[in-house]
C-alpha cells in the first residue's frame, strides 16, 4: 500500500518500512505505525485503517519525533493513574517516563481516545506543541 495522500507537518518525513519492519507489521497488524530510530514515520500496510485513520497515525508518530528531537518540547507534565494503567498494558510499559509522556501527548494531539481524559497541564502542553510544531 502506498501512502502518497498522507500530509505530514513541515519538517516531518516518511519512508517505506524496511524488510524487518514489514515482518513486524505483518505479525502485528494492530500496530498502525512507528516513529523510527532514524526519525522517520512509517505506516503499517497490513493494518485495516481508512485514509483518515492513517493520517491520524502519521500525525501521532510525527509528533513523537518532534518531541524527541526538539529539546524545548520534552513533555514535563504528570500522567494520570488511568494513563499509567493504560500504558502498562501496551508496548510502552517498559519505556522511559519521557517516552510514555510523549506517547500520551501525541495521542491527545491526534485525537486518539486511548490517551484518556487529558489534564489541563497536558492540554496546555499539546496546545503549545500544536502552535510551534505545526507552524514550523
DSSP-assigned letters across all residues of 21-62: HHHHHHH-TT--EEE-TTS-EEE-TTS---HHHHHHHHHHHH
Look at residue 9 in the predicted model and tell me its pLDDT.
Answer: 82
pLDDT tens profile 33-88: 999 999 999 999 999 999 999 999 998 999 999 999 988 889 999 999 999 999 99
pLDDT at 129: 87
Measure the CA–CA gap between 17 and 28, rounded to whole angstroms.
14
For residue 22, pLDDT beyond 70:
yes
Backbone angles phi, psi at 43, to 5 degrees: -120, 150
The alpha carbon of residue 30 and the mean position of all alpha carbons in its chain are separated, in whole angstroms, by 14
pLDDT digits (tens, 9 = 90+) for 79-120: 999 999 999 999 899 999 999 999 999 999 888 899 999 999
- What secondary structure letter does DSSP report for 90? S
CB of 65 within 8 A of CB of 11?
A: no
Residues 6+ apart with CB under 8 A from 68: 35, 39, 102
Torsion of CA 79, 121, 73, 66, to 10 degrees: 70
Res 120: pLDDT = 97
Q: Compare 5 and 21 and report the one with higher pLDDT.
A: 21
**pLDDT attached to residue 13:** 93
Q: What predicted TM-score, i.e. pTM, was given to this entire model?
A: 0.85
Amino acid at each position: 500500500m502506498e501512502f502518497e495522500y498522507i500530509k505530514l507537518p513541515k519538517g516531518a518525513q516518511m519512508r517505506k518500512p524496511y524488510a524487518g519492519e514489514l515482518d513486524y507489521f505483518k505479525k502485528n497488524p494492530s500496530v498502525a505505525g512507528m516513529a523510527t530510530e532514524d526519525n522517520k514515520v512509517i505506516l503499517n500496510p497490513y493494518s485495516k485503517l481508512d485514509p483518515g485513520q492513517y493520517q491520524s497515525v502519521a500525525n501521532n508518530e510525527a509528533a513523537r519525533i518532534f518531541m524527541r528531537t526538539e529539546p524545548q518540547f520534552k513533555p514535563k507534565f504528570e500522567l494520570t493513574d488511568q494513563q499509567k494503567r493504560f500504558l502498562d498494558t501496551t508496548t510502552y510499559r517498559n519505556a522511559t517516563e519521557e517516552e510514555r509522556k510523549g506517547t500520551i501527548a501525541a495521542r491527545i494531539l491526534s485525537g486518539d481516545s486511548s490517551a484518556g481524559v487529558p489534564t489541563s497541564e497536558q492540554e496546555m502542553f499539546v496546545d503549545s506543541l500544536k502552535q510551534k510544531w505545526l507552524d514550523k
